[in-house]
Amino acid sequence: MDVTPITALQRQERAEANGGAPTLEFDRQAPYDRYVRASTLHALQSPLSDDPGEMSFLMVSQVMELYFGLIRYELRHAQDLLARDDVWASLAPLRRAALHLEALNASWQGLRWMTPAEFNRFRDLLGEGSGFQSAMYRHLEFTLGLKSESLMRPFRRQPEVHAALRESFEAPSLWDETLELLRRRGLADGPEQAVQAWVTVYADSGPDNHLRLLGEALTEVAQRFGDWRYHHLQSVKRAMGAKAGSGGSAGLVWLERSMARTVFPELWTARTFM
């Protein structure tokens, strides 16, 4: 990316030279476009029908894909920090991830207009395409610890995508790293002791108990991710009722079964004994 850095002093000098007006002439592509790649982003929408509602469906789906990647990025950053025993530093990316999940959930609002009749105007053109086939969503699930090897099968004909998913599947998850942290701190030797470990952690409500803060940050991520799955279910109900999914799933039944898989289960179970 060809972006020329500029210092605070240079910015001030340019502002003074321009009399406070923005710079309007550039010798090449506008710097904003070079950095954000806005032209590229806006060239990625290729609706398959003439129905104007399809653009909403397509654009919102793409926005969600970007958020999947961003949330996974933050969670992996937090995971790396936990592996280095830096619990305090891990809180910032976890809190950012929770906020990004809020924004992801808000994306569903852009599809509230869609009735079954409106979805049906372009749904058949999607063929077997389905959000179920999102590789980045699978990466996000694997990072959270929701792992199912069968969910990699749709990508077997895409060697690079499949290999990346395999690596993500086999690598420790954020929750694995959290349990390993509890082991190093002498609180739990494995998942079976994790419930009591969290009960012990939460018994100390002091401001310097970073593990308790970690537990709350992880709980917020898990809850917001649960909100995402609920909003997905409700949006499907609104747009297509109990019809079979375009990707071959049972639609609502599949989503309800997916929601039953708990993120960070021992952390939630521990709350019963606190």
- Taking only the tens place, the pLDDT of each residue in 51-69 is 999 999 999 999 999 999 9
Q: Burial-class residue 226 by CB neighbours within 10 Å (0-12, 13-18, 19+).
A: middle
The share of the chain scoring above pLDDT 90, in percent, equals 61
- Whether 94 has a pLDDT exceeding 80, the answer reads yes
- Whether 151 has a pLDDT exceeding 80, the answer reads yes
- Whether 245 has a pLDDT exceeding 60, the answer reads no
Q: What is the pLDDT of residue 8?
A: 77
Q: pLDDT digit string (tens) for 95-139?
A: 999 999 999 999 999 999 988 899 889 888 887 777 778 999 999
The two three-digit tokens of residue 258, written as one number: 């997916």
| Distances from the Cα of 256 to the Cα of 8, 64, 270, angstroms | 52, 20, 24
**Using DSSP, how many helices (H) and how many strands (E) does the chain show?**
13, 0
CB 155, CB 272: distance < 8 Å:
no
Q: What is the pLDDT of residue 55?
A: 95
List of long-range contacts for 27-31, beta carbons under 8 Å, 24+ apart = 31/3, 31/4
Q: What is the pLDDT of residue 30?
A: 82
Q: Burial-class residue 107 by CB neighbours within 10 Å (0-12, 13-18, 19+).
A: middle
Report the C-alpha gap between 107 and 130 in whole angstroms. Answer: 17
Report the C-alpha gap between 211 and 171 in whole angstroms. Answer: 23
Higher per-residue pLDDT: 28 or 208: 208
Q: What is the pLDDT of residue 232?
A: 87
- Whether 7 has a pLDDT exceeding 90, the answer reads no
Report the C-alpha gap between 212 and 64 in whole angstroms. Answer: 31
CB 206, CB 223: distance < 8 Å:
no
Q: What stretches of 204-251 show up as alpha helix (H) in DSSP?
A: 210-240
Q: pLDDT digit string (tens) for 185-200?
A: 999 987 789 999 999 9
Query: What Rg value do the Cα atoms of the chain yield, rounded?
Result: 23
What integer is the mean pLDDT of 142-157? 91
Q: With CA atoms as reference, report the closest residue to 158 among 126, 123, 128, 133.
A: 133
Report the C-alpha gap between 225 and 91 in whole angstroms. Answer: 17
